[in-house]
Amino acid sequence: MGLVAVCSRSTSRCSYACIMVTMMLLHAYMPCEAHLSSTFYDKMCPNALNTIRTSIRTAVSSERRMAASLIRLHFHDCFVQGCDASILLDEAASATSERNALQNLRSARGYEVIEAAKSQVESICPGVVSCADILAVAARDASVAVGGPTWTVKLGRRDSTSASLSQAETDLPRFTDGLEKIISLFDNKGLSARDMVALSGSHTIGQAQCVTFRDRIYNNASDIDAGFASTRKRRCPTNDGNGNLAPLDLVTPNSFDNNYFKNLIQRKGLLESDQVLFSGGSTDSIVSEYSKSPATFNSDFASAMVKMGDIDPLTGSSGVIRKLCSSIN
């Protein structure tokens, strides 16, 4: 304030210099904008990543499906309020828990795996590593555990103190969405149609509940292979078995590969929102490309996961580091 006052009284010859000095001093006292960095915990918690990796490998080795669940959990976190671990807050912590959104209810899973990894990290570095970062690292480690690509995870996210049920129901894709709707939802998060198709390739692993694909296998539409539909009907009757599971990729359900895209070309996409990626629309060529080149798919998937992990993180003094991922400190 003093320097500004002096400048205001200075002659025109020195006023410019005074203003410039003032701006430099003010800038020196402004907090630097925080950025994500892969080395964020190198000094604060050097064993964090190894600890998370061991925990995730243990979980996936006991249940291969968990790999798909953890990748999906990270995706559903980042699409609502950014990558802030808001999806991990339970009903006791937030009346608007995202766990109750239609797109998450009785399908999002792996919460206890993230909580276990958090507990392990807390035992060596209390109050340092965020749940949001653990979830981002877990998605990468889950991919690797089932033969998928790896990528460098940028770190330094902090955890939210709130969740948004309404935003979850608005911003997360639904299994009945058409192609343009899905492209729009991803575009709203800064992700391209190519990113969307690559990320959809995570459906090369994991399973879906009968209730999510019943309409597709019984409507006898031209975009579904008749033999495939018949096979899926065996465990998905017309009026029962809503929770019965079927692999999203019938060929190699537990391996991360490019068979998902080959299935789409053969009209064997399990969900409606899968098959629309290859149905005469703008993404057909991308599906064809990935079906022929697993290396291209793996590379694009890794790049898209990094981009998704950059969606609106809380950094610096924003947010908190939760002690338990399911509750606010």
Tens of pLDDT, residues 112-122:
999 999 999 99
Q: Model confidence at 14, in pLDDT bands (50, 70, 90)?
A: very low
**Which residues are documented as binding site for substrate?**
173
| In the predicted structure, residue 31 carries a pLDDT above the cut 80 | no
Least confident interval from 10-14, 68-72, 152-156, 226-230: 10-14
pLDDT value for 47: 98
Contact 267, 287 (CB under 8 A): no
pLDDT value of residue 92? 83
Residue type, 221: A
Q: What confidence tens digit (pLDDT) does each residue in 53-65 have? A: 999 999 999 999 9
Instruction: List the binding residues.
Output: 77, 80, 82, 84, 86, 98, 173, 203-204, 249, 252, 257
CA of 40: how far to CAs of 15, 37, 82, 137, in Å?
42, 5, 19, 13
Per-residue pLDDT tens for 69-81? 999 999 999 999 9
Instruction: Mention every residue, 6+ apart, whose C-beta is less than 8 A from residue 255.
Output: 146, 147, 204, 205
Helix axes 111-124, 131-145, angle to 10 degrees: 110
The pLDDT of residue 34 is 58
Residue 19 binned pLDDT confidence (cut-offs 50, 70, 90) = very low
The pLDDT, as a whole number, for residue 206 is 95
Reported residue count of the chain is 329
Write down the pLDDT at residue 26: 35
Q: For residue 199, how many other CB atoms are within 10 A of its CB?
A: 19
Q: Quick one: which of 163, 175, 132 has its CA closest to 40?
A: 132
Q: Which residues are designated catalytic?
A: 76
Helix segments in the chain, DSSP class H: 2-9, 12-29, 48-62, 65-78, 111-124, 131-145, 165-171, 179-187, 193-200, 210-218, 226-233, 259-265, 272-275, 284-292, 294-309
Nearest residue to 194 via CA among 79, 68, 73, 301: 301
Please tell me the least confidently modeled range out of 11-15, 133-137, 242-246: 11-15
Using one digit for the tens of pLDDT, what is the confidence trace for 127-167? 999 999 999 999 999 999 999 999 999 999 999 999 999 99
- Got the DSSP string for 164-208? -HHHHHHHS--TT--HHHHHHHHHTTT--HHHHHHHHGGGGS-EE
**pLDDT of 28 strictly over 60:** no
Domains and CATH numbers, the chain: 47-172 (1.10.520.10), 179-305 (1.10.420.10)
What pLDDT sits at residue 23?
39
Annotated binding-site residues for Ca(2+) read: 77, 80, 82, 84, 86, 98, 204, 249, 252, 257
The C-alpha angle with vertex 82 and arms to 36 and 143, in degrees rounded to 5, equals 70
Q: Which residues are annotated as a binding site for heme b?
A: 203
Whether the per-residue pLDDT at 27 is higher than 70: the answer is no
